[in-house]
Amino acid sequence: MFDSLLLNAVLAFLSMFIVDFINAIYIRHIQNDSAIASASTSVFIFLVHSVAIIGYVGNNMLLIPAGLGAFLGTFLGVLVNKKYIGVVIEKEPG
């Protein structure tokens, strides 16, 4: 039982990490008006997020690793986006 719980915790963490990491890139695509890239990324987010939800729906304790994965995924996604992708959106004055 413990092995199954540990595996589910790791899967919840990784799936939410991936979802939120890709979500940071998805937001950048939307800001850049990249319709195809935004739509493609949203499908990937939907599929991975669905797996995450199915995984932790039966055990509320799995929300803890899922939340940690979401935090770290967003945090690192923003850092990677800023450093490597680095597309600056020009804002119109006023």
Q: Examine residue 92 and state whether it is found in any structural domain, yes or no.
A: no
Q: Examine residue 67 and state whether it is found in any structural domain, yes or no.
A: yes
Average pLDDT over residues 70-86: 83
Q: Examine residue 91 and state whether it is found in any structural domain, yes or no.
A: no
Q: 5-54 pLDDT, tens per residue?
A: 888 889 889 999 999 998 888 888 888 888 898 899 899 999 988 888 87
Q: Examine residue 57 and state whether it is found in any structural domain, yes or no.
A: yes
Written as six digits, the tokens of 8 are 């589910």
Domain span at residue 57 reads 2-84
pLDDT band at 94 (very low <50, low <70, confident <90, very high): low
Burial of 7 (0-12, 13-18, 19+ CB in 10 A): exposed
Q: 46-59 pLDDT, tens per residue?
A: 998 888 887 777 78
pLDDT band at 65 (very low <50, low <70, confident <90, very high): very high
| Coil, helix or strand at residue 92 | coil
Contact 74, 18 (CB under 8 A): no
Q: Examine residue 89 and state whether it is found in any structural domain, yes or no.
A: no
The domain tally of the chain equals: 1
Q: Examine residue 94 and state whether it is found in any structural domain, yes or no.
A: no
